[in-house]
């Protein structure tokens, strides 16, 4: 039998009223009579209190400079072209005495323009040398848009805020990854 029209309307009014009661009077027992919406509301009063970031939250990208080989994979895969990399070749002392000096790539510039970045995370995915990581920090707004360009020193500072990788599920055979500290 189809429900008579209008039942849903009354139900809707009930939902909003019940939600108001739950928000205003969240406590139990006698204390229920004392309204305390600050406890009942599901929201957080942001500048005064902060929510813990969700696992794998994408706040800002951190750079481990020593691991970077200037391979440019991240810059090339970036859909917004917001990563700017410059580097040069350097001679490093040989690994063994008497050997030829090695050629290593050194980073001159590694900038990410967060005014352009769309937080897709492809650069972090694509980096083969564990140089880029997600950090959950998000409070880096600026008054000037140009200041949203983070250079490699600033990106390196974010490394401290990178959390450890979550452990894999039981039975996983993949090698656990570690954040270089």
49 to 38, 40, 44, 46, 57: CA distances (angstroms): 12, 15, 7, 5, 18
36 binds another protein (CB under 8 A): no
17 binds another protein (CB under 8 A): yes
46 binds another protein (CB under 8 A): no
In the bound complex, what is the minimum distance in angstroms from residue 175's beta carbon to another protein? 44
In the bound complex, what is the minimum distance in angstroms from residue 46's beta carbon to another protein? 11
In the bound complex, what is the minimum distance in angstroms from residue 138's beta carbon to another protein? 20
45 binds another protein (CB under 8 A): yes
Contacting another protein (CB under 8 A), which of 1, 7, 9, 34? 9
The encoded tokens of residue 50 equal 């902060």
**Nearest-CA neighbor of 67 among 134, 154, 127, 157?**
127
SS3 track for 28-66:
CHHHHHCCCHHHHCCCCCCCCCCCCCCCCCCCEEEECHH
User: What residue ranges bind another protein (CB under 8 A)?
Assistant: 9, 12-13, 15-17, 19-20, 22-24, 37-38, 40-43, 45
């Amino acid at each position: 039998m189809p429900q008579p029209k209008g039942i849903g309307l009354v139900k809707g009014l009930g939902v909003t009223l019940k939600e108001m009661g739950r928000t205003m009077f969240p406590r139990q027992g006698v204390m229920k009579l004392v309204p305390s919406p600050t406890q009942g509301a599901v929201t957080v009063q942001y500048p005064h209190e902060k929510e813990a970031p969700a696992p794998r939250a994408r706040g800002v990208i951190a750079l481990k400079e020593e691991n970077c080989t200037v391979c440019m994979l991240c810059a090339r895969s970036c859909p917004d072209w917001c990563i700017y990399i410059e580097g040069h070749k350097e001679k490093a002392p040989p690994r063994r005495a008497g050997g030829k000096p090695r050629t290593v790539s050194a980073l001159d510039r590694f900038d990410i323009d967060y005014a352009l970045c769309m937080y897709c995370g492809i650069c972090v995915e694509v980096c083969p040398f564990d140089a880029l990581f997600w950090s959950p920090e998000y409070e880096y707004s600026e008054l000037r848009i140009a200041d949203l360009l983070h250079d490699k020193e600033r990106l390196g500072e974010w490394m401290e805020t990178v959390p450890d990788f979550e452990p894999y599920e039981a039975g996983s055979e993949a090698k656990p990854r570690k954040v270089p500290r």
